[in-house]
Structure 1
Amino acid sequence: MYRGNFEVEDYIVERSALRHADVDGNVISLSEAEGRAPRLELTVSETALHFRSLDETINRFWIRIHADNDEHVWGGGEQMSYFDMRGRRFPLWTSEPGVGRDKTSEITFKSDLKDKAGGDYYNTNYPQPTYISSARYALHVETTAYSVFDFRRKTFHEIETWAVPERIELFAAPNFVELVEALSLRFGRQPELPDWVYKGAIIGLKDGVNSFERLEKMRNAGVQVSGLWCEDWVGLRQTSFGSRLFWDWQANDERYPDLRERIAELNGEGIRFLGYVNPYLCVDGSLFPEAEAAGYFAKDQLGRTAIVDFGEFDCGVVDFTNRQAADWFAEEVIGRRMLDFGLTGWMADFGEYLPIDVELSNGIDAKLMHNAWPTLWAEVNAKAIASRGKTGEALFFMRAGFTGVQKHCPLLWGGDQSVDFSRHDGLVTVMCAALSSGVLGNAYHHSDIGGYTSLFGNVRTPELLMRWAEMAAFTPVMRSHEGNRPRDNIQIDQDPEVLDHFARMTRIYVHLAPYLKTLSKEAAARGLPVQRPLFLHHEHDPKTYAIQDAYLYGSELLVAPVWHAAQEVRSVYLPGGADWVHVWSGVEYTGGEEVTVASPIGCPPVFYRSDAAFAETFKALKGM
């Protein structure tokens, strides 16, 4: 690992096919040939295959699943580049997703050269060894080991894990909606969105005390605001990457004097204050000595506190397998220094950085705990909120995840996209991320409006910022971000045209709040995501199966954001079985065909079903 980026290599000494099976009821003993000692035991239950290794030398596992030539598969956690995973190989290992994520691009090359940080199409903060098939079944591998889903063969899918999995779970349903419902019930469902969220955008500013004045300027310009998010509430340090936060999770009086009082004032105006936290403590902060004295950090192989370089500053890793350490972080850090201080939400960052060579309290190999770490981190946050009776009111959002994160994390965000229109790291990847994670039980997804990562001269344009805001208006949560280099990149309040456009998009978001509330209730009750693949409600139209740059917002709206620069028309496929009305022109189209519509800035392609229950609400968008 180098700052959350991993190089993974393997050398296979022997790969043995277990061709012979001895069957005793529902227990199958597998061996290489008749008369040879069994090496693996398989127990078949109604919904799962349970495995037990009979040979301690087995440390790799492969299984092939029958596939049809025309089959589609989706899932794999939060995938950024490809929603339909068929035809590609996907390692499943939580990590930094990489900058650029395209080995043919200049920015990826430069990022690889400088910090080994370029990434590839499969790198993701949130992997999960689960997929849904167009054959209307889902498969989940219950393991935390490094895994690979390989969908490159025509007649089979191959699953590889670097440990014998506990079990493989199978789900089947007559339609995709019921299949997604079953998966969300298995992995966990989120509560309804807090009422305060529907009032507008969460404005991300990290400008110290100036943030309050800038917020007021935006409000005076007509921006509808639900929250002020100041990740720099803990103070800053300067690095070559840009301004980084001071990882000592408590209010910084120098940067935000009288913050508790300012938070109270905002609350009085119906605006919530949000901050930032992650599961690590910097060595030069005040919390580090306390945690070290109590033995709350993961250890190195000499029994000392393991120190991790996070990019020009060092930190200790709080060991969440130590129940006392997890409880301390939930109560003393999140509970007392954040919730009791007045915060109503925060970015719960990182989670993918657990080094594979540390020693943990539970004695389990860190290579097996690495993927599990984001879920433990989510649980710590959720426990802190529950301890204050604020579940469903306080809102934290995460980029890292793994199996079971759905049960604890109320909101995902897409991570650190580049501030551009690039195919593998720009605006379009956010849609793919929402769809892939959504079918696995994550109901709510959102992103940094305008992207985050600005490196090697790559900076935002006003067009990108406005196009991203258009998409965000049709997602569960609107939230802006200044990015890693705020001074180099245009901000919402620096350009009158951008500010006016953003204000209009927040008004559209608020206008749609009654509709979004019904989707939130549906998510809590049934586990259906707010942003849905077109095939979820149009499964008899196979042309919808590979679409990843458009989505259903609930069942009644179809949103196809513009994700190319300088594009003012866009072709959109409208699913069959329904008639669709173009929001901005009022023109009605018959489903089952591709249409081309004008898409100037301010008018992203959005359609509603002609028989929609909220048709009058959608029709009113034309005049906004």
Structure 2
Amino acid sequence: MTLMLAAADRGFTLSLNGMILIDQSPDHPAFYVGRGRERMDMYRGNFEIEDYLEERVPLTHAVVDGNHVHLSFAEGQPPAMTLIVDKGVIQCMAAGSHFNRFWMRVRAEAGEHVYGGGEQMSYFDMRGRRFPLWTSEPGVGRDKTTEITLRADLMGKAGGDYYHTNYPQPTYLSSRRYALHVDTTAYSVFDFRNEAFHEIEVWAIPRIIELFAKTTFVQLVDQLSRRFGRQPQLPDWVLDGAIIGLKDGENSLSRLDAILAAGVKVCGLWCEDWVGLRHTSFGARLFWDWRADETRYPNLKGRIVELRKKGIRFLGYVNPYLCVDGSLFHEAAMKGFLALTDMGGVALVDFGEFQCGVVDFTNPQAKDWFAERVIGQNMLDYGLSGWMADFGEYLPIDVHLRNGADAKLMHNAWPTIWAEVNARAVERRHMTGEALFFMRAGFTGVQAHCPLLWAGDQSVDFSRHDGLVTVICGALSSGLLGNAYHHSDIGGYTSLFGNVRTAELIMRWTEMAAFTAVMRTHEGNRPRDNLQIDQDEAVLHHFARMTDLHVRLKPYLKALSREARDTGLPLQRPLFLHYEADDQAYTIQDAYLLGPDLLVAPVWKAGESERQLYLPGPERWVHLWSGIEYAGGEEITIAAPIGQPPVFYRAQSSWAALFKGLAGNARPAG
């Protein structure tokens, strides 16, 4: 990769492998600095953010001195900022501390596509839209034109919008085969609305801006995954069936027995409520003290051993908060491990009729204590093989932390630190690649610590911005940045305002999940109001067949997991990753490649029994269920009854024999 700085008429150009990315002149400045006063209000993970911009000034005058660029407001004035260009990195050095806003413009081209931004749920191609990058609750509905989003906004500022995400990352990948990353944890914005340029906004002066370029997208993803961190292979056991999520106390075990009797392939039992419950006006909530409640689960440790003998692992739940009425809160407070208020007292966060302290992971001793005392002793030593590591996006922005950093600058960094705590606990027990924790929150570098993403809290429906289809977009966007493994709550999670699961939704979601890295169910936020997989005979039968199909895919998934370890390539891939010459492949976000050999186009709209889809070319594709061969480079309409999701394999695939064997496993339902 060659990054070339060249002086131009009263300005300069910066080229990457011959592509001009920055073209600075007095009439068209590429850099601006300014000052603003932000307002950030957090309410249970949701944020209202606005900026009062006091000044924005272009840096119109540039002097190139070797690999240094001195930028000033006008000729004859001292530099306000110096750029140092070296080996794919632009280092930014501001003169003084007056400015707290930064803008940079990168040249765009007609027809260019841009992807990334962390995990984006609504739009895979980000071109034409503006994306603030701030970890938060993604919101309910996420579409301001819908009633459910409006009602969620009115109820608790919780409606969200298309850009809200648990996992932002200031990195984008261009169809011009380059990527750009801003090394900052500050609130930032990627604005791709202008035809001539992409504008990057940061509410701080970024330390460095990194550029990457390769001749193919496969090579570029490999490069990015090495930069942000490679994940270990998936545990072998997780490919042996579905992880069944039940939160029904001791009754979870008897329900599991019935699910097994129906022929479901099960690799894990996931019980969020292993820590017990508290009852509030909002309903049952978990008791956030992170130790087994053997009143709710009698002899749980022994039951875990029994499950293990049957090839079934037990998984739980944890987050980085400690409830004030639990034993761990007092232990952490006595040791000085909790974040503080302005007055020096322990900062408490209201989670709805109970309060919690924030474990201060900027204190190395607190980080070690949580990894060993909570996760190591209370979870791994107890027998847990995995857990949901929740709420990484919830760091309050007004607390005082041990390292002295502004909580607004630590907020985006918090998910990565939280992932590191979990990974440290696993590593100390020599269980990396064996124990599996999964997270919804993320930021730069989470890839190096978190072995599996989950897509967060989708609505229990087929909606365009918060339903089934969004988890495909989330997998594709995060996968390009080195997150090889992605999965979701089968059937969705959020049920509000009378919005409840249908049997059709669960079955369609199950079909998609069978062709991802991990299958896992969730009872949702209102289990008693929503259909569960073991409450409908047709749903359970369908689920059993899909888990059997998933298990039959194990040799292929295992090979993809090894490839991910070695190259960083995600299991779920956009079509253009392997079909770069096919222009139409760059615009598709509701279908994906599972590895190089399978194309999956889930049915994501209610009431549909056929699906229009595009087969990339040049290639020949075999329909998994009928065996009919189709030419690539064409859009087709295929029958897709429940039980036969639209799946195709490459006619020349070395895995063709395995794929042919899947067809007899799943027939149309009913």
Instruction: Report the TM-score range of the alignment, normalised by the length of the smaller protein.
Output: over 0.9
Corresponding residue for residue 303 of structure 2? 262
Return the match for 1:544 from 575, 585, 591.
585
Corresponding residue for residue 565 of structure 2? 524
The separation in 1 between residues aligned to 2:280 and 2:559, in whole angstroms, is 44
Given residue 621 of structure 1, which amino acid in structure 2 is its aligned partner? L
Is 2:30 the counterpart of 1:2? no
Corresponding residue for residue 3 of structure 2? none
Is 2:469 the counterpart of 1:433? no
The separation in 1 between residues aligned to 2:167 and 2:314, in whole angstroms, is 26
Equivalent pair of 1:201/1:227 in contact (CA under 8 Å): yes
Corresponding residue for residue 421 of structure 1? 462
The separation in 2 between residues aligned to 1:377 and 1:424, in whole angstroms, is 27
Structure 1 residues 437, 240: CA separation in 2 closer, same or farther (over 3 Å shift)? Answer: farther
Return the match for 1:13 from 54, 61, 66.
54
The separation in 1 between residues aligned to 2:241 and 2:652, in whole angstroms, is 28
Report deviation, 1:241.
Answer: 4.2
Corresponding residue for residue 570 of structure 1? 611
Corresponding residue for residue 123 of structure 2? 82
Return the match for 2:159 from 118, 123, 132.
118
Is 2:338 the counterpart of 1:297? yes
3-state DSSP of counterpart to 1:42 = strand
Equivalenced residue count is 624
My pick for the range that moved more, 21-30 or 271-280, is: 21-30
Return the match for 1:68 from 109, 112, 125.
109
Return the match for 1:396 from 437, 443, 450.
437
The separation in 1 between residues aligned to 2:363 and 2:385, in whole angstroms, is 27
Corresponding residue for residue 363 of structure 2? 322
Is 2:518 the counterpart of 1:477? yes
Corresponding residue for residue 51 of structure 1? 92
Report deviation, 1:25.
Answer: 1.3
Which structure 2 residue ranges, 5 or more long, are not aligned? 1-41, 666-670
Is 2:533 the counterpart of 1:492? yes
The separation in 2 between residues aligned to 1:299 and 1:446, in whole angstroms, is 35
Corresponding residue for residue 197 of structure 1? 238
Equivalent pair of 1:243/1:485 in contact (CA under 8 Å): no
Corresponding residue for residue 224 of structure 2? 183
Corresponding residue for residue 135 of structure 2? 94
Is 2:144 the counterpart of 1:103? yes
The separation in 2 between residues aligned to 1:114 and 1:188, in whole angstroms, is 39
3-state DSSP of counterpart to 2:170 = strand
| CA deviations over 1:255-282 (Å, ceiling 9, x no partner) | 1110000000011111100000000001
The separation in 2 between residues aligned to 1:486 and 1:515, in whole angstroms, is 34
The separation in 1 between residues aligned to 2:414 and 2:616, in whole angstroms, is 39
3-state DSSP of counterpart to 2:256 = helix
Which structure 1 residue ranges, 5 or more long, are not aligned? none
Equivalent pair of 1:242/1:484 in contact (CA under 8 Å): no
| CA deviations over 1:151-188 (Å, ceiling 9, x no partner) | 00001000000000011100000011000000000001
Given residue 322 of structure 2, which amino acid in structure 1 is its aligned partner? L
Return the match for 1:156 from 188, 197, 200.
197
Is 2:289 the counterpart of 1:236? no
Corresponding residue for residue 415 of structure 2? 374
The separation in 1 between residues aligned to 2:470 and 2:197, in whole angstroms, is 28
Corresponding residue for residue 80 of structure 2? 39
The separation in 2 between residues aligned to 1:378 and 1:273, in whole angstroms, is 20
The separation in 2 between residues aligned to 1:12 and 1:198, in whole angstroms, is 51
Structure 1 residues 553, 167: CA separation in 2 closer, same or farther (over 3 Å shift)? Answer: same
My pick for the range that moved more, 310-319 or 192-201, is: 310-319
| CA deviations over 1:362-406 (Å, ceiling 9, x no partner) | 011011000000000000000000000000000000000000000
My pick for the range that moved more, 614-623 or 433-442, is: 614-623
The separation in 2 between residues aligned to 1:80 and 1:36, in whole angstroms, is 45
Report deviation, 1:34.
Answer: 1.1
TM-score (norm 2): 0.93
| CA deviations over 1:548-567 (Å, ceiling 9, x no partner) | 00000000000000000000
Return the match for 1:339 from 351, 365, 380.
380
Given residue 421 of structure 1, which amino acid in structure 2 is its aligned partner? F
Q: For the aligned residues, what is the CA RMSD? A: 0.7
The separation in 1 between residues aligned to 2:583 and 2:480, in whole angstroms, is 17
Equivalent pair of 1:568/1:598 in contact (CA under 8 Å): yes
Report deviation, 1:240.
Answer: 4.5
My pick for the range that moved more, 52-61 or 147-156, is: 52-61
The separation in 1 between residues aligned to 2:285 and 2:468, in whole angstroms, is 23
The separation in 1 between residues aligned to 2:612 and 2:353, in whole angstroms, is 46
Given residue 281 of structure 1, which amino acid in structure 2 is its aligned partner? L
The separation in 1 between residues aligned to 2:496 and 2:363, in whole angstroms, is 38
Return the match for 2:634 from 563, 584, 593.
593
My pick for the range that moved more, 115-124 or 20-29, is: 20-29
3-state DSSP of counterpart to 1:8 = strand
Report deviation, 1:311.
Answer: 2.6
Equivalent pair of 1:40/1:55 in contact (CA under 8 Å): no
3-state DSSP of counterpart to 1:16 = strand
Return the match for 1:216 from 252, 257, 260.
257
RCO comparison, higher one (Cα < 8 Å, 6+)? 1
Report deviation, 1:238.
Answer: 2.8
Equivalent pair of 1:41/1:53 in contact (CA under 8 Å): yes
Corresponding residue for residue 409 of structure 1? 450
| CA deviations over 1:570-594 (Å, ceiling 9, x no partner) | 0110001110011111111000000
Report deviation, 1:314.
Answer: 1.0
The separation in 2 between residues aligned to 1:242 and 1:421, in whole angstroms, is 25
Equivalent pair of 1:96/1:125 in contact (CA under 8 Å): yes
The separation in 2 between residues aligned to 1:363 and 1:455, in whole angstroms, is 40
Return the match for 1:24 from 53, 65, 86.
65
Given residue 162 of structure 1, which amino acid in structure 2 is its aligned partner? W
The separation in 1 between residues aligned to 2:78 and 2:282, in whole angstroms, is 56
Is 2:174 the counterpart of 1:133? yes
**Which structure features the higher share of strand residues?**
2
Given residue 565 of structure 2, which amino acid in structure 1 is its aligned partner? A
The separation in 2 between residues aligned to 1:507 and 1:243, in whole angstroms, is 33
Report deviation, 1:112.
Answer: 0.2
3-state DSSP of counterpart to 1:543 = helix
Given residue 136 of structure 2, which amino acid in structure 1 is its aligned partner? S
Corresponding residue for residue 358 of structure 1? 399
Equivalent pair of 1:275/1:345 in contact (CA under 8 Å): yes
Report deviation, 1:413.
Answer: 0.1
The separation in 2 between residues aligned to 1:399 and 1:37, in whole angstroms, is 46
3-state DSSP of counterpart to 2:421 = helix
Report deviation, 1:540.
Answer: 0.5
Given residue 270 of structure 1, which amino acid in structure 2 is its aligned partner? G
Report deviation, 1:613.
Answer: 0.8
Corresponding residue for residue 649 of structure 2? 608
The separation in 2 between residues aligned to 1:93 and 1:312, in whole angstroms, is 27
Report deviation, 1:529.
Answer: 0.1
Corresponding residue for residue 546 of structure 2? 505
The separation in 2 between residues aligned to 1:314 and 1:182, in whole angstroms, is 43
Corresponding residue for residue 595 of structure 2? 554
